[in-house]
Amino acid sequence: MAESRVIKRYSNRKLYDTSESRYVTLSVVAELIKDGVDLVIIDNTTGEDITTRTLAQVLLEEERTHRNPLNLMAVRDLIKSSGELLHNLDHLRADAGRKVTTFRTEAEKRVNELKEDAEKKLSHILGATRSPDLAQRVEALEARLEALEALLRKPTIKR
């Protein structure tokens, strides 16, 4: 698993991306999240993880600028559940991840079983065509064919 990208928040409220060595805005943080970058935001003075609080600020900023308006019902449900909804979503995401991993493992196992079965059948078919008995029978048929061709080539006697 890749390490989280660290962004430090200074007392002047500026955000500093330690991996890019540059200051970033909340909109840049939003873009990083949308791009799937795993990041953690740390208060530079206290060392406290303030990722959740900062991401809430990102949501508020996007709502304020109408770039990505929040669904009122979703916000109400989130407040009513006191974060339980997000906790449940985390569990659902983790469960989905486990199920995808299990499905992938089972699918790979089944594909390997089918491949092995096909290889066995192909080996059996190829083995049958290479059997000494078959080779002998083919040689005998070739010899008979040559004998018949020889008979046909002989001149016939006219009476």
Which structural domain, as residue segments, surrounds residue 63? Answer: 5-70
Residue ranges in the chain whose pLDDT is less than 70 = 1-2, 67-71, 78-79, 82-83, 85-86, 127-132, 156-159
Number of compact structural domains in the chain: 1
Is 114 inside any structural domain? no
Q: Are strands 39-43 and 22-24 parallel, antiparallel or unpaired?
A: unpaired
Is 81 inside any structural domain? no
Verdict on whether the full-model pTM lies above 0.85: no
Going by C-alpha positions, the residue among 25, 93, 108 that lies closest to residue 62 is: 25
Is 37 inside any structural domain? yes
Is 9 inside any structural domain? yes
Is 51 inside any structural domain? yes
Report yes or no: 9 and 44 within 8 Å, Cβ to Cβ: yes
Is 32 inside any structural domain? yes
Going by C-alpha positions, the residue among 37, 78, 81 that lies closest to residue 59 is: 78
Q: What is the pLDDT of residue 14?
A: 93
Q: What is the pLDDT of residue 45?
A: 93
Q: What is the pLDDT of residue 20?
A: 92
Q: What is the pLDDT of residue 23?
A: 95
H or E element, residue 106: helix 84-129
Is 93 inside any structural domain? no
Alpha carbon distance 148, 129 (integer Å) = 25
Is 42 inside any structural domain? yes
